[in-house]
């Protein structure tokens, strides 16, 4: 039976990819205005279904909670649509009369999109919007734990896109979630780019597929509370971040680092806001629950509230406990609290000096999470600059909840649910991935001694020349 399912999944994948390839040929010929109408329709339809999809995702996966998943869905629809409104992605993007250059946006083609179980519906909308905005078709591979809610999300997106003028097949989704189907998708000849969000093994498979890929590594961001910080505000930011959807956002803080002189002040404020500092025995009990013997994260603890985690580990906590905290001093594979924990659990590092804190943050990130996210709470610009120059991350966040700041909800970063980690993190991009990451730039260059047409002087000529160039070079 397993073999039959694998064969069926492979065949379904091939069919979806062929349809996506045909659809993309039509999308590639559409104007920016046509693509924008499709994007707006998709965002509107998805936003209207935000609660329904959040309920489906929470029920199917058991991760997080409906309220925060609704917020994620609306972020992925409303906020992303707002950010890309007016963005130019196809046709002539730029003309440089002095250098006699044109830059033309060209879609990459069919995109294979891997969807994680932690964000199984919001990721669909976000990736579909940035793909369609840039003239690409997209085929989703859902996580086996979230196939029904992901498929429902993709169907909503597909129906809205087609009603707004997108060709059939522009948005596809595997209904048979399996490794065989996912591998078939990543290796399909029609696929030109892989957009991978998921666990380390999945991201590695994407980069090993032989196709261009944008993958994201694990998050494991420390949060440094400096002595110049507003401690109450800093703790409140961490609380808001780490409890959002019960810690399933990869940019959320995984540890707090403080100087010894700040230890008691930070602990007192944290306790007042619902943090529970575990004793050594309790931390040991929970550690056995967090990770499997092979070192991989136990899916049973992902997106669970703190009180439930304590109950599962076998020790009581005060009612209203929001976050569990374990004292830690080292980082490495034998130190579970030094790793990414997709639930409201934090490590607490206490160091003797600012330089020791910097070294510890680098050590933690070098072990896991390099290139991803770091948070600092401080008003001292010099210390912010010092750490920003040395910490190996792509998102260095100041005085904001990391989960929300990292994805661009509370910062000026592009609103995204795929966060590149750069070369240091084994990723091909350090960006919050946007439509501009999903196009190629075709450059039209005149000889310096010849006169290039000044296309901006005649809007009709711009469109005519752009269309002629695209027709000849497709």
Which pLDDT does position 204 carry in this prediction?
A: 79
Number of folded domains that form the chain = 2
Which pLDDT does position 349 carry in this prediction?
A: 98
Which pLDDT does position 6 carry in this prediction?
A: 87
Please indicate whether residue 173 is annotated as part of the active site.
no
Strand arrangement, sheet containing 222-225: 275-277, 323-327, 345-351, 255-259, 222-225, 371-377, 393-398
Q: Tell me: do 158 and 230 sit in the same domain.
A: no
CB 353 within 8 A of CB 261: no
| Cα four-point dihedral sign 315, 320, 322, 328 | negative
Which pLDDT does position 218 carry in this prediction?
A: 85
Distance CA 42, CA 164 (A): 8
Which pLDDT does position 451 carry in this prediction?
A: 63
Which pLDDT does position 450 carry in this prediction?
A: 65
| pLDDT at residue 439 tops 80 | yes
Residue that terminates a domain, selected from 413, 446, 468? 413
CA distances from 86 to 31, 33, 95 (A): 13, 9, 18
Confidence of residue 456 (pLDDT cuts 50, 70, 90): low
CATH number at residue 69: 3.40.605.10
Confidence of residue 258 (pLDDT cuts 50, 70, 90): very high
**Residue with tokens 């000529």, as numbered in its chain:** 461
Q: Tell me: do 341 and 201 sit in the same domain.
A: no
- Residue-wise DSSP of 149-191: HHHHHHHHHHHHHHHTTPPTTSEEE-SS--HHHHHHHHH-TTE
Is residue 396 within a helix (H) or strand (E), and if so which, with residue range?
A: strand 393-398
Q: Tell me: do 165 and 256 sit in the same domain.
A: no
Q: Tell me: do 29 and 115 sit in the same domain.
A: yes
DSSP state of 111: E
Which pLDDT does position 465 carry in this prediction?
A: 55
In the numeric block, which tokens belong to residue 441? 């730039």
Distance CA 442, CA 470 (A): 10
| pLDDT at residue 106 tops 70 | yes
Which pLDDT does position 208 carry in this prediction?
A: 81
Beta-strand relationship, 191-196 and 275-277: unpaired
H, E, C per residue of 213-237: EEECCCCCCEEEECCCCCHHHHHHH
Q: Tell me: do 185 and 259 sit in the same domain.
A: no
Distance CA 449, CA 426 (A): 43
Between the two ends of the chain, the Cα-to-Cα distance in Å is 43
| pLDDT at residue 393 tops 80 | yes
Q: Tell me: do 72 and 203 sit in the same domain.
A: yes
Q: Tell me: do 187 and 246 sit in the same domain.
A: no
Q: Tell me: do 229 and 377 sit in the same domain.
A: yes
User: Which residues, including other chains, have CB under 8 Å from residue 391's CB and lie 6 or more apart?
Assistant: 358, 361, 362, 365, 374
Q: Tell me: do 211 and 252 sit in the same domain.
A: no
Task: Give the residue, 254 or 468, on which the prediction is more confident.
Answer: 254
Which pLDDT does position 1 carry in this prediction?
A: 45
Q: Tell me: do 245 and 157 sit in the same domain.
A: no
CB 428 within 8 A of CB 407: no
Strand arrangement, sheet containing 137-141: 171-173, 137-141, 110-114, 191-196, 213-215
Q: Which structural domain, as residue segments, surrounds residue 311? A: 222-413
In a domain, 239, yes or no: yes
The per-type count for the chain, helices as H runs and strands as E runs, is 17, 15
In the numeric block, which tokens belong to residue 273? 């806001």
In a domain, 453, yes or no: no
| pLDDT at residue 19 tops 60 | yes
Catalytic residue among 125, 149, 182, 250: 250
Task: Give the residue, 444 or 463, on which the prediction is more confident.
Answer: 444
For 95, the 3-state DSSP assignment is strand
Burial of 430 from C-beta contacts in 10 A (0-12 / 13-18 / 19+) = middle
Q: Which of 19-28, 145-154, 197-206 has the lowest mean pLDDT?
A: 197-206
Write the pLDDT tens digit of every residue in 299-345. 999 999 999 999 999 999 999 999 999 999 999 999 999 999 999 99
Confidence of residue 470 (pLDDT cuts 50, 70, 90): low
Confidence of residue 189 (pLDDT cuts 50, 70, 90): very high
CB 173 within 8 A of CB 150: yes
| pLDDT at residue 458 tops 80 | no
Region class of 355: left (phi > 0), else alpha (psi between -120 and 50), else beta: alpha
**Residue with tokens 């109450």, as numbered in its chain:** 232
Write the pLDDT tens digit of every residue in 266-310. 999 999 999 999 999 999 999 999 999 888 899 999 999 999 999
For 63, the 3-state DSSP assignment is coil
In a domain, 419, yes or no: no
With a pLDDT cut of 70, the percent of the chain lying above it is 94
Looking at every residue in the chain, the average pLDDT score rounds to 93
| pLDDT at residue 466 tops 60 | no
Which pLDDT does position 296 carry in this prediction?
A: 87
Which pLDDT does position 216 carry in this prediction?
A: 84
In a domain, 53, yes or no: yes
Taking residues 52-62, report their average pLDDT.
98
Q: Tell me: do 209 and 228 sit in the same domain.
A: no
CB 196 within 8 A of CB 202: yes
Taking residues 60-81, report their average pLDDT.
98
In a domain, 421, yes or no: no
In a domain, 424, yes or no: no
CATH number at residue 330: 3.40.309.10
Q: Tell me: do 191 and 326 sit in the same domain.
A: no
CB 54 within 8 A of CB 20: no
In a domain, 454, yes or no: no
In a domain, 62, yes or no: yes
């Amino acid at each position: 039976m397993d073999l039959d399912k694998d064969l069926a999944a492979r065949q379904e994948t091939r069919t979806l990819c062929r349809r996506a390839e045909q659809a993309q040929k039509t999308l590639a010929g559409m104007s920016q205005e046509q693509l924008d109408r499709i994007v707006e329709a998709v965002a509107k339809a998805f936003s209207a279904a935000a609660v329904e999809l959040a309920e489906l995702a929470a029920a199917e996966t058991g991760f997080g909670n409906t309220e925060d998943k609704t917020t994620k869905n609306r972020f992925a629809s409303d906020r992303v649509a707002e950010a890309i409104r007016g963005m130019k992605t196809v046709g002539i993007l730029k003309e440089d009369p002095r250098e006699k250059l044109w830059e033309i946006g060209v879609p990459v083609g069919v995109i294979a999109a891997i969807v994680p179980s932690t964000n199984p519906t919001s990721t669909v909308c976000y990736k579909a919007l940035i793909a369609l905005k840039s003239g690409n078709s997209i085929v989703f591979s859902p996580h086996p734990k979230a196939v029904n809610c992901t498929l429902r999300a993709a169907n909503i997106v597909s129906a809205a896109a087609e009603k707004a003028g997108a060709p059939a097949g522009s948005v596809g989704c595997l209904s048979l979630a399996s490794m065989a189907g996912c591998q078939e998708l990543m290796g399909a000849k029609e696929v030109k780019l892989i957009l991978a969000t998921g666990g380390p093994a999945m991201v590695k498979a994407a980069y090993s597929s032989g196709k261009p890929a944008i993958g994201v590594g694990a998050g494991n961001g420390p949060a440094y509370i400096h002595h110049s910080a507003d401690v109450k505000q800093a703790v409140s930011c961490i609380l808001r971040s780490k409890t959002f959807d019960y810690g399933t956002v990869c940019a959320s803080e995984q540890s707090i680092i403080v100087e010894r002189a700040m230890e008691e002040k930070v602990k007192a404020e944290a306790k007042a806001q619902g943090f529970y500092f575990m004793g050594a025995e309790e931390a040991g009990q929970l550690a056995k629950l967090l990770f499997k013997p092979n070192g991989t994260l136990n899916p049973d603890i992902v997106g669970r509230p703190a009180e439930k985690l304590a109950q599962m580990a076998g020790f009581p906590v005060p009612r209203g406990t929001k976050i569990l905290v374990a004292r830690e001093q080292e980082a490495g594979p034998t130190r579970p609290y030094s790793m990414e924990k997709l639930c409201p659990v934090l490590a607490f590092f206490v160091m003797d000096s600012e330089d020791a804190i910097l070294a510890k943050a680098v050590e933690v990130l070098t072990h896991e999470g390099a290139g991803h996210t770091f948070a600092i709470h401080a008003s001292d610009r010099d210390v912010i600059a010092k750490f920003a120059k040395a910490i190996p991350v792509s998102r260095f966040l100041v005085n904001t909840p990391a989960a929300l700041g990292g994805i661009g909800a509370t910062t000026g970063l592009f609103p995204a649910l795929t966060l590149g980690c750069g070369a240091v993190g084994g990723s091909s991009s350090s960006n919050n991935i946007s439509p501009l990451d999903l196009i190629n730039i075709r450059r039209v260059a005149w000889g310096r001694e010849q006169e290039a047409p000044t296309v901006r002087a005649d809007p009709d000529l711009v469109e005519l020349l752009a269309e002629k160039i695209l027709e000849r070079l497709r």
